[in-house]
Structure 1
């Protein structure tokens, strides 16, 4: 999946739009930002590429704020556990942990071969995290003057902010995870035409609500599965809320990058 269209002022930030002399002139300075997502169900109301859309959005905003180049997305990720998805549904197009780790490592190594040394991986699929860390650890052991930051929107949105949203909307934090209020709101803000708004309040299906687990069981117990993929509530989601979350994350993300790269002004 290629990066989604961005405003004209950001067009030159996409690596795929640069010529090789353009990239060569920028590789040794500034940041290179790698959006990472997944292709998987997010209930009946959000598109399969929701994670990738979110990563691309924040990668573009980060590049605009700090100055940097955004690579094409790594849009195939690690399969999310079925208990998070509410069962097994069509649309989980994933790769193995070995393939994913090797792909990320190869991308990092290729960037480094051209002089890139400051890399930010913007991830929006939680099951990718451990494999991203393994790829970055192995890469930085080999390229010792490189620095890689792996960050997801939920890492920087802030506990106080999330708690305030919960109090304001009446949606408890325990009910706001995969494809729920905050994630749905982000996609409604970022790509409103891709959302089936009328299905955001769809129930899990007939019978009692699905049981939620904090551990894994194979095969998935029947009382954990749903008919629709609705595990958590998205009833209070909206583009206006997504805009607030996006602005909060963008500010906090830029601040975190400046801190970790000792960069008070950006490049």
Structure 2
């Protein structure tokens, strides 16, 4: 299976949200990485056939998805960034409702609802009303909804928002397991979501694809450009103004900082092994977010 994105753009009035985006995806996990406002959600809504591109085409195995209609949606699973729930439904009722909307018969619905509840670790809470669910549980239910029709193309927009660290690991492993015979596209601004599972990473900034490569190739971009040094408290502010400073950690000898810079920032700064967090800082000039900012140097 092959998903081809041909030079698509999307304009909202006077705002260009996506510009000339082209890529070709086959089976495996792909990560769309970029800061908030980069155009990731707009792109994914076009790939989910919710928005029409202002220009360009999206093809599945050579067929334009705008013409395929239900044939495309039958093989699509989609989890939007904002996902509404029926508060007085139980998880079973909610998923059964969506299963029927997706065309599953009664027997298929019963079987598949049980399977996806098990996958997202909600079996024991299946009869609770959704208004009692925590944010993380609601997000897991959204993931279950996207998997109901056993999609060959799975598009998930910021899927781990609100999940605790254990749930995030479980979800990443799930994506990796199911990606063998399907295309999985995951958008995120959280580096740890994709570091170990992505076949390729697509970097997006201001609506444009700026680079596409493997994690290893991305790390080559910052080889010999990541430094660690120790500074006094009164020197930290100036250092942050001059350089891209990532992690900051207090130590007995001062403040240890991790810096991404083409040149050695200080005389005592030493090179360290780069991570995808450093890549993110290098390309987007902002610190990584959520649980990835751990202070580890």
TM above 0.5, yes or no, is no
Between structures 1 and 2, the one with greater helix share: 1
TM-score by length of structure 1 reads 0.29
TM-score by length of structure 2 reads 0.27
Between structures 1 and 2, the one with greater strand share: 2
User: Which has the higher relative contact order, 1 or 2, with Cα contacts under 8 A spaced 6 or more apart?
Assistant: 1
